[in-house]
Structure 1
Amino acid sequence: MRTRVAVIGSGPSGLLVGQLLTRAGIDNVVLDRASKDYILGRVRAGVLEEGTVRLMDEAKSGARMHAEGLPHDGFSLAFDGRDHRIDLFGLTGGKRVTIYGQTELTHDLMDQREKAGALSIYEAANVTPCDFEGHAPPYVTYEKDGVTHRIDCDFIAGCDGFHGVSRKSIPEKAIRTFEKIYPFGWLGILADVPPVSHELVYANHPRGFALCSMRSMSRSRYYIQCSLDEQIDEWTDQRFWDELRRRLPAHHAERMVTGPSFEKSIAPLRSFVAEPMRFNRLFLVGDAAHIVPPTGAKGLNLAASDVHYLFEALLEYYQDRSNAGLDSYSAKALARVWKAVRFSWWMTTMMHRFPDTSDFDQKIQEAELDYLTHSRAAATALAENYVGLPF
């Protein structure tokens, strides 16, 4: 088989770059080791920056997002028993975020790819990118139903996540990684109950961080900070609701609607960046190159900005036969990545209680929150990063 771009991974980044390429007339094949049903069953984030919304529209995949997504003009920082609203819309000159589940976004992209007749290969075992560092055209091999297949291509887009094969295929001496592991995790649940507020609530409390989010006005996504030693089966729904209430201002706790959860998990938090993001004909995209803690809602949105830079570079190559965009891809992507890594780290350190926090550290955190909610300049910096830096 021959194609121009082989895309490894059919999460949002792989499907988005594939759909943009297809609409531009650049043939591509998307491969994934998982099944379609498994991919659509994964629960992920749901806060979209305006740049991500714009790319979905460019891919002609945003109709349902606009119909069902929830535009948010602000969010609350809760501490000292009170809400302190960050006016995203007012502070950024009219920008906002959209609440729309990543699973739904993935579904929309899959549907559009199928309508376009573009090829996706699921349950492809032992996917391997080959010869991407040399002058000869690269290729990808995979196994399906016991048969080994080969896809020859011009370029490989590695969109297969942190644990995927793309980054692991790069020689160790050619890549540098940076990592910070946080000493806690997030215990999260999904429940079909109305959200406690019409906007997100980020809570800083002596018992630990909490986040009240939603997927719709009838489905809520809640998180609490927990120890990495916690066992998920020790957390009944009732125990979770009781703990969440303790960490919220009284007016939220009193009106919270509870119910049975249908998803519950504990996620560790880390910051991770791999440099560079280009290895001749192989390009790393999204979680294959970087991970951020979810506090700043940047993971999916960083993947979208990577897609933007890569798609523009490939378009320039095929339309103008120019390598300029391909040569600058890594530097452009990483410049935005590191700003988002910094923001996510800052939000995480400001909102969580760390095991080794001293009295001095605690006073600094309290002063930071007080300054942030009383200074328009500080709140504007937060808002600009939260709605997404330009790309």
Structure 2
Amino acid sequence: MIILGAGPAGLVLGNLLHASGIDCVILERAGRAHIQTRARAGFLAANTVRLLDRHGLAAGLHRRGHEHSTCEFRTEDGRFRLDYGSLGRGERHTVYPQQDLVTDLLTQFVNAGGRIRFETEALAVLGAYGAQPSVTVREADGRPDRWRARYVAGCDGRHGAARSSLPPDAVRRHHRDHGVSWLGLLAEAPPSLDAVGYAVNSRGFAGHMARTSDITRYYLQWDRDRPAGDWSQERLWDELELRMRASEYGALRRGRIVQRGVVGLESDVLEPLRHGSLFLVGDAASVISPSAAKGANLAVLEAEILARALVDDLAHGDGEGLAGYSARSLEHIWRAQDFSQWMIRLLHSVPTSDGAAQFDACLRRSRMESLRTSRSQQDWFAEHYVGV
């Protein structure tokens, strides 16, 4: 088995296959230091934690992660909090930076004798519809090479070799640009509130998400054509305080902004996710906006679904799971996309070309009021916010 990519999807898949005695190798185009320090979202759903627990992969997150169950909404009508951990199914998130999870999964894989090749760039997947597909690569020293296996798992993202190797007529792509962009900021600053903060403002959305006791991620709705470095740190903090109504609810705890980047909120789903001996997993299968923190959780869930199916096929000759992998994964993907779309419409003023901005603003206000006052709406929110 060849696994392309050493993110959460590839490393969970590699650990589960190796533990089941299935020979596999992970090919990763970046170096080890890079993937262990690449900052990503850190909200793990309750089901993701249970899954990692089930396979002995959760020791690090239990030691260093912390549970979280509250979000705060700030609007022109005031603010309110939801203890979503006591609503819906009564489930919480575990806050654990993705780079720490990747480090845990990688360490466990390598210590157990798993094979991984860093700085090995996959260029193309060939012969996916035949009996033995192959992957052409550029090795760390620049030499071309080719790897062969019975199956290939594309866990290498939306721009990786797995996606780019698919024949255009073999896949249906569902894409939506939501017309909204965020400037993501990572600040060396303690959290300013003990909740995830969502601020809906006429100037645009602002978000507050704690990562650790001294690192906080912020988001600002942003013109995607404006460079990420266009504003000074002081101006960014001033704008965050304006949008989050710090004059009413308390000043933000400032610190050095160490990372910034513009991300367009998009949805992108491929169907099907199986192409002969090639399977798409994680961001190679679907891209979801960060508005609902589903990306890494979907990746881990899909990796487990595929791992179980591969073990059934390779160890027991039962191919039923592989035949159903695409449909099972897409069911979860589309439910997550649905909630992500709902969150985008709740939090943002989305540009329109038909003069409907005021209409949309009134709908957002109505949705927010329902979320503040309706227990059934709160239960629905909690179930989908934490669920995958």
TM-score bucket of the superposed structures, by smaller chain: over 0.9
Instruction: Work out the percentage of aligned pairs sharing the same amino acid.
Output: 37
Paired residue for 1:137, among 132, 136, 141?
Answer: 132
Task: Tell me the distance in 1 between the aligned counterparts of 2:55 and 2:257.
Answer: 34
User: After the TM superposition, which residues 313-324 of structure 1 pair with which residues of structure 2 at under 5 Å, given as runs?
Assistant: 313-324=309-320
Give 2:134's aligned amino acid.
Answer: Y
Unaligned 5+ segments in structure 2 are: none
- Whether the aligned pair in 2 keeps the contact of 1:47 and 1:100 (CA below 8 Å) is yes
1:283: how far off?
A: 0.4
1:110-121 pair list within 5 angstroms: 110-121=106-117
Match of 2:262 in 1: 266
Distance in 1 between residues matched to 2:210 and 2:77, nearest whole Å: 21
Secondary structure at the counterpart of residue 216 of structure 1: coil
Q: Does 1:75 align with 2:54?
A: no
**Is it true that 1:65 corresponds to 2:61 in the alignment?**
yes
The alpha carbon displacement at 1:244 in A equals 0.6
Distance, in Å, in 1 between the alignment partners of 2:319 and 2:62 is: 35
Post-superposition Cα deviations, 1:131-168, rounded to whole Å, max 9, x if no partner, equal: 1112x222223232243333221111000001111011
Residues 81 and 250, structure 1, Cα contact 8 Å, conserved in 2: no
SS across alignment from 1:232: coil
Quickly say closer, same or farther: Cα 1:315–1:83, change in 2 above 3 A. farther
Could you tell me which amino acid in structure 1 is paired with residue 215 of structure 2? R
2:333 matched residue in structure 1: 337
Question: 8 Å contact 2:40–2:97 — kept in the other structure?
Answer: yes
Cα deviation, residue 374, structure 1: 0.9
Aligned to 2:361: 362
Task: State the Cα RMSD in Å.
Answer: 1.6
Residues 246 and 252, structure 2, Cα contact 8 Å, conserved in 1: no
For the residue of structure 2 that corresponds to 1:105, the secondary structure is: helix
One-letter amino acid of the structure 2 residue matched with residue 292 of structure 1: I
Look up the match of 1:9. 5
2-structure distance, mates of 1:74, 1:259: 24
Counterpart-to-counterpart distance in 2, 1:216 and 1:28 = 34
- The corresponding residue for 1:373 is 372
Q: Deviations over 1:115-141 (max 9, x none)?
A: 11211011113432221112x222223
Normalising by structure 1, we get a TM-score of 0.94
Counterpart residue type for residue 218 of structure 2: Y
Superposed CA deviations along residues 213-259 of structure 1, whole A, max 9, x for unmatched, are: 01112111111111112112212111111111111144775231101
User: How far apart in 2 are the matches of 1:37 and 1:377?
Assistant: 46
Q: 2:32 aligns with which of 36, 44, 53?
A: 36
Q: Number of residues paired by the alignment? A: 384
CA distances 1:252-293 after superposition (whole Å, capped 9, x unpaired): 752311011111111111011010000111000010011111
Partner of 1:215: 211
Superposed displacement of residue 56, structure 1: 2.5
Partner of 2:235: 239
Q: 1:185 aligns to what?
A: 181
1:73 Cα deviation (Å)? 1.8
* Contact 1:196–1:252 under 8 Å retained in 2: no
User: Normalising by the residue count of structure 2, what TM-score does the alignment of the two structures yield?
Assistant: 0.95
5+ long unaligned stretches in structure 1 = none
Please say if residues 89 and 382 of structure 2, whose CA atoms lie closer than 8 Å, have aligned partners that are also in contact.
no
